[in-house]
Amino acid sequence: MLFLNVLFGVSAVLTIASSLLCVFTKNIMHACVYLLGALLGVAGLYMTLGADFVAVTQIMVYVGGIVILMLFAVMLTGGKEFVSKAQKLLNLVPLMGNKWTFLIASLASLVFAGVTVQLYFKLPEFFKTVDNTEFSSTVDELGKLLITDHLLAFELSSVLLLGALVGAAIIARPRKEEVK
Amino acid sequence: MNSTAATFFTSIEAVNQAIVTLSEKVGFNTLPLVSLTIILVMALILTLVVATIGGYGTYAERKISADIQARIGPNRVGPYGLLQPLADLVKLLSKEDIFPMAADKFLFYLAPFLAILGVFSTLAVLPIASGLILTDLNVGVFYLIAISSLVGVGVFLGGYASNSKWSMLGGMRGASQIISYEIPVTISILAVTLISGGMSFGKIVGAQGGLPHQWFLLHNPFTFIGFFVFFVGGLAETNRAPFDLPEAESELVSGYHTEYTGMRFGLFALAEYAEVFVLCGVATALFLGGYQLPLDVTNLPQIPVQVIQSVVFVMKSLFLYYVVIWIRWTLPRIRVDRLMSICWKYLTPLAIFNLVGVSVWEVVFHGQSLAQLILGH
Amino acid sequence: MISYGSYLLISAFLFVIGLIIMMARKNIVAILLGIEFILNSAALSFVTYSKFITKNLDGHIFALFIIVIAAAEAAVGLAIIIRFFQIKETIHIDEATELRN
């Protein structure tokens, strides 16, 4: 229980701090690194929920794949050039946006957050805590579920991944007339 | 929280007695606190030991390369130059900490720590002896593959943040090489988990025996090939020769850590050598029987058994470590355009073929190994 | 401290962060980054429900498929970004006004 509390605290602080920094940073490369911190934090939260397989898959796919892809994309498209030059007050905050888009976005999000918090606090189970802290392995169970109840979704996702792989390769390759 | 090491130590009679008396004196159950302390102390010891092995990796590398090239190697500091890593450490620590003018300061400072974090986090699941696994996660091998991809991020950011063309090229090569070679490595590990029926290291090592014919290396012809796919892919993932293109001295000065000085460079070097040790440890645990002894240990006194098991494990790993260094000083570096074709055209299809082969073997022979088939159990 | 509500609040927080990033930024990579936040918030909610409400593993399956979809989306999205950059030499979202080059 002690260990779980420590893990939860660290992960929650890591997630929230990194995501806030991700909004307020001006450099898109830094934003990707903060995204990495937030994703690791979410993986820690999965661990406290006893979802070991999901947590490790999160680290595997996001850290090993998506974040590196994003870093590559930022580097290939020259990330630093796009920092806006006019940097006063609210223009400091978002990268490349102007203050109106940021204001509208924040207001809309605040309204959304207010409604969500209101709704959540009305839930009867809101303060329910984790009852048993002894986790059993989810791997065997997940494997069985994937090839019985969710077989169709599993097969479809493999087709989706293949399509994404081929599509990405076709889209990103240089056209023949451009090579000449 | 289920830490194998903590469970092992608290189940020893004397420790258990001490906890009980302590709990009576303090007035509450001190078991969680003691377990947490054991885990922290174990983690500290493990980190220090692997850091020392990593440090002595540089010494071993120089001595063995000197031997191969008929030179003497370091012999000035201490007997046979054994204190050379300490001297290197002092030199690195006392160097000026330079960072380039145009570098991205935050990422430049962060990159070596990400690389170190990725390597040392893997130690949590490394099975040194049956009671000395820091935590025997149910997803152990998967966790190890996942967390070690942080090294790729560290290498890439180190290359990008230095803002120098050598570093940039080295970082890009490093990241693409690491994420490409992850695929054959992962698939060949998958074949092993098929045989053992679980992803935890305890289960994988437990499914093997102490004698060579009980190892997964000789379980069937497919795992025999799988070991070499794993080892070659692992060499590429740790950026070792003949795949050390990210830091190819002859073309890229020194790759992604060209601009690093002092201890930050030292951290990158330490991460590389420690990662090679982890790779050798994982290869030992997956294919070479891990810490298993060729006798029944259930009724023997536990402490000596643990010591002998860890010695066996470390000896096997160090033998592979020697092979890695030997390969580096024997083979020339491969060409950059052949790097990716080796991964995608040869290793990955071979790994997939192995996976299919192992599945078929498991179905046809009901999980029996080659030796069991020949000897009739 | 580890209560049902705290997970839901963190999940809602991630969603809001993703929404702000998606709405406020003009860099296409940053918009993809916002989408990742939103997908993560959804996955976290699913795993939380599976722990506290349904008490089975269906939520985990949902989270796994969300991760798969995030990977596919990132691969195709970044390929499109690189192609877009080759044509327009910028990744400002307002420049993407034509369907053919």
Would you say residue C69 lies in a domain? yes
* Contact status of A108 with chain C (Cβ, < 8 Å): yes
Tell me the C-alpha distance between C16 and B198, whole Å: 39
What is the structure's pLDDT at A13?
A: 92
**Is 60 exceeded by the pLDDT of residue A91?**
no
pLDDT tens-digit readout, B194-250: 888 888 888 888 888 778 778 888 888 888 888 888 988 888 888 777 877 777 666
Q: From the CA of A52, how many Å to the nearest CA of chain C?
A: 10
What is the structure's pLDDT at B248?
A: 67
Would you say residue C101 lies in a domain? no
The domain limits of chain A are 1-77, 94-123, 136-180
C24 to A94: CB separation less than 8 angstroms, yes or no: yes
Residues on chain C touching A130 (C-beta within 8 angstroms): 2-3, 51
Supply the CATH number for residue C90's domain.
1.10.287.3510
pLDDT confidence of A163, banded at 50, 70, 90?
Answer: very high
- Max CA-CA distance within chain A? 67
Residues B60-84 have a mean pLDDT of: 82
**Is 60 exceeded by the pLDDT of residue B363?**
yes
Closest CA to A5 of A56, A47, A34, A52: A47
C14 to A38: CB separation less than 8 angstroms, yes or no: yes
What is the structure's pLDDT at B194?
A: 87
Dihedrals φ, ψ of B173, to 5°?
-60, -45
What is the structure's pLDDT at B22?
A: 75
User: CA geometry: angle at A135 spanning A134 and A138, to 5°?
Assistant: 165
What is the structure's pLDDT at B96?
A: 77
A71 to B179: CB separation less than 8 angstroms, yes or no: no
Q: From the CA of B51, how many Å to the nearest CA of chain A?
A: 24
Would you say residue C100 lies in a domain? no
Long-range contacts of the stretch C22-25 (C-beta < 8 A, 24+): C23/A101, C23/A104, C23/A105, C23/A108, C23/A109, C24/A23, C24/A93, C24/A94, C24/A97, C24/A101, C24/A102, C24/A105, C24/A106, C25/A94, C25/A95, C25/A96, C25/A97
Residues on chain B touching A53 (C-beta within 8 angstroms): 138-139, 142
B36 to A2: CB separation less than 8 angstroms, yes or no: yes
Q: From the CA of C52, how many Å to the nearest CA of chain A?
A: 8
Would you say residue C33 lies in a domain? yes
pLDDT tens-digit readout, B130-186: 777 777 778 888 888 888 888 888 888 888 887 777 888 888 888 888 888 888 998
Average pLDDT, chain B: 82
B156 to A68: CB separation less than 8 angstroms, yes or no: yes
* Contact status of A45 with chain B (Cβ, < 8 Å): no
Comparison of pLDDT for B197 and B262, the residue scoring more: B197
C17 to A19: CB separation less than 8 angstroms, yes or no: yes
Number of H helices, E strands in chain C: 3, 0
Domain that holds residue C73: 4-95
> Which of A28-32, A75-79, A145-149 has the least mean pLDDT?
A75-79
Comparison of pLDDT for A151 and B9, the residue scoring more: A151
Residue among C15, C74, C83 minimizing CB distance to A171: C83
A71 to B160: CB separation less than 8 angstroms, yes or no: yes
**Is 50 exceeded by the pLDDT of residue A86?**
no
Q: Which two tokens stand for residue B364?
A: 């046809």
Report whether A63 contacts A40 (CB < 8 A).
yes
Q: Determine the distance from the C-alpha atom of residue B293 to the mean position of all C-alpha atoms in its chain, rounded to a whole number.
A: 21
Share of chain B above pLDDT 90, in %: 0
Residue among C57, C68, C78 minimizing CB distance to A157: C68
Best A27, A70, A156 member to test C by mutation, with max C CBs in 10 Å, is A70
CB contact set of B279 (below 8 Å; sequence gap of 6+): B234, B235, B237, B238, B320, B324
What is the structure's pLDDT at B2?
A: 54
Residues on chain A touching C32 (C-beta within 8 angstroms): 70
Q: From the CA of C96, how many Å to the nearest CA of chain A?
A: 15
- Distances from the Cα of B219 to the Cα of B189, B222, B231, B288, C63, angstroms: 14, 8, 17, 10, 36
> What ipTM is given for this predicted complex?
0.86
Q: From the CA of C13, how many Å to the nearest CA of chain A?
A: 7
Tell me the C-alpha distance between B129 and B308, whole Å: 8
What is the structure's pLDDT at B121?
A: 87
pLDDT confidence of C101, banded at 50, 70, 90?
Answer: low
Q: Which two tokens stand for residue B292?
A: 């298993």
What is the structure's pLDDT at A96?
A: 46
Could you give the number of structural domains in chain C?
1
Residues on chain C touching A73 (C-beta within 8 angstroms): 29, 78, 81-82
pLDDT tens-digit readout, A93-147: 544 456 676 677 778 777 877 887 777 777 766 666 666 556 677 788 888 888 8
Residues B277-283 have a mean pLDDT of: 89
CATH number for the A1-77 domain, one of 1.10.3720.10, 3.40.50.300, 1.20.120.1200, 3.30.465.10? 1.20.120.1200
